[in-house]
């Protein structure tokens, strides 16, 4: 046994950051919070010293007599609009002060009170249907000489691009982003100094429908935020003589149609380069208004990667199918558009049929009583004969394949590239193992989340493209392991709060362009308020707090969390499932805490029903009414318990002792009710399904005396299913951790390495490049089913980090102040390596098994303590620095 700990070499704080997003530079509100990371060698530090320079003037050093280094409150006077800040930090230890960190910079945005620009709108002479409307150009000419600095602040109701003298401003895409536009609108800031020239200049805003009034969802229903597009912008110029000048949107701006004759985020974009910009006339002023612009905490959407064509097939004389080798979110860039008048049509999709041609029929959708809505993602460009490049920035697509049709013209597939477009999240974890299968599974799950992280966490980037609350509730812990998603998640949670119904229910998805909160007679409103979906408002903030240590995410969501749980409690008290009414006219005492009488999506897509030929059946399609009326009280009550418990824990963190007592008591009462109703005398659950046992064990619902029997019964059900999982949407992500922690790691790995469906490696074997919605996304006949990029089932890769790699935060730890290194090997996995970039710094693990002995090499960051547990049971405590140890896999007798 070898064991030692050594310090790292860094000698100054690093990774300085604020709690705001921004494009080419961070943009803050008036009181940003500061965070930094301290290297392991400085673990004994006890105070920090911060220096800042604001608009070129030092504002003095501040010494904090604590080890606080995350979300430090702004210690200087509040910032004003546009102020530019440089700051650095060093820490103090008994041996003296560390080196200073590198300087880092950010700017304050244009703050609410200082916006003076008018809202302006394009002139629209006709009103095509949603999906057929084009983009408009709002512009203003101005003269400028001797400009030393220029900042453009802009936002819109719709998707926009800003340009100065024909050059794009910044690198952000799909601005201003998706939000609940009735209450929240984000602005963008850019340094445009280099785009200006002496003399005449032109500033333009190209504006299209976007999320504001374009089509949304599987049925392409127009978003209901508004009917008129709008833009608001201010160009702030600083001149050499110190004077300042502001160009604002107002009556001096002009409106004209653009060469983008069709622009819809769902359906696609048509650009006719032969169409010159239409007749310009004064823009409309003051016909729309939006909420005061704010500054997003999330990183921007950007082009993050460019992929070349991996393979191309010529279908006929004028049609090619391009395979980019990876299912992703984005668009195609074309460098060669052909001679003037050449028309190129690009259709996007996830699948090609046996004939080698694009097939999107698996994404078609049908509303009850209406014809099939054929799925289309189509861009069109007409060449003007110049060397122009086509890049459709007013739409976005989910695709791996593209069918390119060119009327009578030659086409070189190498002239096309895939532009991968997503929120530019910072990767925080890596995983690699001795198993190529698990490495590939991790890769496709990672790509699946990336393809759905386009400003908000969508379910799929194709058919629906909606930010379903249930999907992110399931995946949030995995997302927070793979990437820094705190700002991304805080932005989305603001929409969840904005869309919350007056009675406390949480919308099924947010931002909710259908605006269910204002349309309570809509049938879909009756399917709002489900367990596992609405509970995102409690679980996701709590998971963000646990991972990042940010109290603000709890403060921001507290009221919404309370309103949700109080609605659920009332729903449980006032409604009973018909089966219980039939059992007894009068409710039993515990039933007031059973959440069983309102709508629930339930476990959703459990692979349990079998046809005569052995294939799985969808219970909803087999008997929709039976599915709708089924008793889902076990699921609902379980989630009520967890949400009440989270509310009690949140109250403790926020210093609300009365609320902590109240919700802790409620959580106990709900737990008693769940056990009374859903645990049988023999210790089994009333449902006796894999999902029920997983949830009971993961949520701590089973009595301690029954946990072993419950785990054994779960294993029995798995073996009865031929070692296949039978869990659905809500519990699949917890299945493998539950088995492993109950002592059945062998069963967990048997499921993980299962190759016939339902299984994860079935997707790998079928060539999936992202996670499928249906376990049999491509069947044995080569037919596609449902979405081929639905990230929720990819939550399994969290197990690869927490158990296979063995690196996981202690259950009671916040912001990784303490964590466990406890690898779980298997005969099919004999080595693994990876890391997690935690709020304290990088925690890394590298382990391998040779001749029955495991060797672990690990790095523990400053501010953290680790407990290292070998498979044989040997346990060691490790402080910051390097840990190296080895031990037999099984203890000797």
pLDDT in tens, 436-465: 999 999 999 999 999 999 999 999 999 999
pLDDT tier at 616 (50, 70, 90 boundaries)?
Answer: low
- pLDDT score, position 3: 32
pLDDT of 579 > 80? The answer is: yes
Both tokens of 308, joined, read 């070349």
- pLDDT score, position 368: 78
pLDDT of 669 > 50? The answer is: yes
pLDDT of 4 > 70? The answer is: no
DSSP state string for 338-397 = -STT-EEEEEEES-B-TTSSB--GGG-EE-TTS-EE----EEEEE--SSS--B--TT--E
Per-residue pLDDT tens for 782-826? 999 999 999 999 999 999 999 999 999 999 999 999 999 999 999
DSSP code of 873?
S
- pLDDT score, position 611: 60
Residues contacting 704, CB < 8 A, separation 6+: none
Q: Which of 698, 753, 687 is nearest to 724 (CA)?
A: 753
Residues contacting 112, CB < 8 A, separation 6+: 292, 293, 294
Of all helices (H) and strands (E), which one includes residue 430? strand 429-433
Active-site residue among 391, 757, 773, 859?
773
Q: Which of 550, 564, 559 is nearest to 653 (CA)?
A: 550
pLDDT tier at 230 (50, 70, 90 boundaries)?
Answer: very high
Separation CA 393–CA 409 (nearest Å) = 24
**601 three-state secondary structure:** coil
Residues 117 and 133: beta-carbon distance below 8 Å: no
Q: Which of 698, 680, 603, 682 is nearest to 641 (CA)?
A: 698
How many Cβ atoms from other residues are within 10 Å of residue 256's Cβ?
18
Which residue carries 């046994």 as its tokens? 1
3-state secondary structure 471-527: HHHHHHHHHHHHECCHHHHHHHHHHHHHHCCCCCCCCCECCCCCCHHHCCCCHHHHH
DSSP code of 211?
H
Annotated catalytic residue 741: no
Annotated catalytic residue 634: no
Average pLDDT of the chain, as a whole number: 95
Q: Which of 624, 638, 518 is nearest to 568 (CA)?
A: 638
Residues contacting 581, CB < 8 A, separation 6+: none
- pLDDT score, position 892: 45
Q: Which of 397, 403, 391 is nearest to 422 (CA)?
A: 397
pLDDT tier at 5 (50, 70, 90 boundaries)?
Answer: very low
Give the distance, in angstroms, between the CA of residue 73 and the centroid of all CA atoms in the same chain: 26
Averaged pLDDT for residues 835-848: 98
pLDDT of 162 > 90? The answer is: yes
DSSP state string for 819-852 = EEE----BTTB-EEEEEEEETTEEEEEEEEEETT
Longest dimension (CA), the chain: 89
Query: Residue 9: phi, psi to the nearest 5?
Result: -110, -15
Active-site residue among 107, 204, 350, 464?
464
Of all helices (H) and strands (E), which one includes residue 635? helix 633-653
SS3 content of the chain, % helix, strand, coil (to 5): 25, 30, 45
Cα 452-455-461 angle, rounded to 5 deg: 30
Separation CA 331–CA 303 (nearest Å) = 10
pTM for the whole thing? 0.97
Separation CA 818–CA 840 (nearest Å) = 10
pLDDT tier at 233 (50, 70, 90 boundaries)?
Answer: very high
Of all helices (H) and strands (E), which one includes residue 17? strand 14-18
């Amino acid at each position: 046994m070898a064991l030692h700990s050594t310090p790292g070499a860094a000698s100054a704080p690093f990774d300085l950051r604020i709690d705001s997003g921004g494009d080419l530079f961070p943009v803050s509100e008036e009181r940003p919070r500061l965070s930094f990371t301290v290297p392991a060698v400085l673990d004994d530090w006890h105070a920090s010293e911060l220096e800042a320079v604001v608009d070129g003037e030092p504002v003095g050093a501040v010494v904090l007599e604590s080890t606080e280094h995350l979300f430090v409150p702004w210690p200087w006077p509040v910032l004003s609009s546009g102020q530019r800040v440089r700051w650095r930090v060093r820490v103090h230890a008994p041996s003296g002060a560390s080196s200073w960190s590198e300087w880092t910079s950010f700017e304050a945005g244009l703050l609410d009170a200082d916006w003076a620009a008018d809202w302006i709108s394009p002139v629209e002479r006709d009103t095509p249907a949603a999906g057929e409307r084009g983009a408009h150009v709002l512009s203003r000419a101005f003269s400028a000489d001797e400009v030393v600095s220029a900042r453009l602040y802009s936002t819109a109701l719709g998707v926009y691009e800003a340009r100065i003298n024909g050059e794009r401003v910044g690198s952000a895409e799909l601005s201003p982003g998706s939000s609940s536009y009735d209450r929240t609108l984000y602005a963008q800031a850019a340094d445009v100094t280099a785009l200006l020239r002496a003399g005449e200049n032109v500033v333009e805003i190209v504006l299209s429908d976007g999320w504001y009034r374009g089509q949304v969802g599987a049925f392409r229903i127009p978003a209901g935020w508004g009917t008129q597009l709008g833009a608001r912008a201010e160009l702030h110029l600083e001149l050499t003589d110190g004077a300042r000048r502001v160009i604002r949107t107002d009556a001096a701006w002009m409106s004209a149609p653009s060469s983008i004759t069709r622009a819809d985020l769902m359906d696609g974009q048509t650009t006719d380069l032969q169409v010159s910009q239409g007749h310009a006339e004064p823009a409309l002023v003051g016909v729309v208004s939006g909420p005061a612009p704010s500054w997003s905490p999330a990183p921007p959407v950007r082009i993050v990667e460019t992929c070349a064509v991996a393979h191309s097939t010529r279908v006929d004389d004028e049609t090619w199918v391009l395979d980019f080798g990876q299912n992703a979110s984005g668009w195609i860039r074309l460098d060669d558009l052909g001679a003037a008048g050449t028309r190129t049509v690009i259709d996007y999709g996830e699948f090609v049929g046996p004939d080698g041609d694009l097939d999107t029929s698996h994404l078609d959708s049908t509303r009850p009583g209406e014809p099939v809505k054929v799925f289309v993602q189509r861009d069109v460009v007409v060449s003007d004969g110049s060397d122009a490049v086509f890049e459709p920035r007013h739409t976005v697509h989910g695709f791996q394949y593209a069918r390119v049709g060119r009327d009578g013209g030659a086409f070189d597939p190498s002239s096309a590239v895939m532009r991968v477009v997503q929120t530019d999240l910072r990767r925080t974890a890596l995983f690699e193992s001795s198993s190529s299968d698990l490495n590939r599974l991790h890769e496709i799950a990672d790509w699946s989340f990336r393809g759905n992280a386009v400003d908000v966490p969508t379910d799929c980037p194709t058919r629906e493209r909606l930010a379903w609350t249930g999907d992110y509730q399931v995946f949030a812990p995995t997302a927070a392991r793979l990437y820094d998603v705190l700002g991304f998640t805080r932005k989305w949670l603001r929409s969840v709060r904005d869309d919350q119904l007056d009675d406390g229910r949480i919308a099924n998805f947010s931002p909710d362009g259908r605006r269910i909160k204002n349309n309570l007679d809509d049938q879909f409103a009756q399917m709002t308020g489900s367990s596992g979906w609405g509970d995102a408002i409690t679980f996701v903030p709590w998971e963000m707090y646990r991972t990042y240590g940010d109290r603000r995410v709890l403060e921001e969501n507290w009221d919404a969390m309370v309103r949700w749980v109080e609605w659920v409690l009332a729903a449980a008290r006032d409604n009973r499932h018909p089966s219980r009414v039939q059992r007894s006219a009068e409710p039993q005492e515990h039933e007031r805490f059973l959440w069983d009488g309102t709508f629930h999506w339930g476990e959703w897509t459990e692979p349990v029903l079998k046809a005569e030929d052995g294939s799985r059946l969808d219970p909803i399609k087999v008997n929709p009414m039976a599915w709708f009326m089924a008793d889902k009280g076990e699921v609902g009550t379980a989630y009520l318990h967890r949400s009440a418990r989270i509310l009690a824990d949140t109250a403790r963190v926020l210093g609300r002792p009365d609320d902590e007592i109240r919700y802790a008591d409620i959580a106990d009462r709900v737990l008693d009710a769940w056990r009374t109703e859903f645990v049988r005398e023999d210790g089994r659950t009333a449902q006796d399904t894999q999902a029920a046992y997983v949830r009971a064990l993961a949520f701590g619902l089973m009595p301690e005396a029954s946990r072993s029997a419950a785990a054994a019964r779960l294993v029995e059900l798995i073996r009865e299913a031929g070692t296949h999982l039978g869990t659905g949407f809500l519990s699949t992500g917890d299945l493998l951790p539950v088995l492993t922690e109950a002592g059945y790691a062998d069963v967990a790995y048997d499921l993980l390495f299962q190759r016939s469906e339902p299984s994860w490696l079935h997707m790998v074997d079928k060539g999936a490049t992202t996670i499928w919605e249906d376990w049999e996304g491509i069947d044995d006949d080569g037919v596609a089913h449902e979405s081929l990029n639905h990230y929720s089932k990819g939550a399994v890769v969290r197990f690869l980090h927490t158990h296979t790699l063995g690196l996981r935060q202690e259950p009671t730890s916040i912001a990784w102040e303490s964590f466990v290194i406890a690898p779980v090997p298997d005969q099919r996995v004999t080595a693994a390596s990876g890391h997690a970039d935690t709020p304290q710094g990088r925690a890394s693990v590298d382990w391998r098994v040779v001749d029955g002995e495991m060797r672990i090499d690990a790095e523990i960051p400053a501010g953290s303590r680790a407990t290292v547990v070998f498979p044989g049971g040997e346990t060691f405590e490790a402080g910051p620095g390097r840990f190296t140890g080895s031990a037999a896999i099984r203890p000797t007798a």
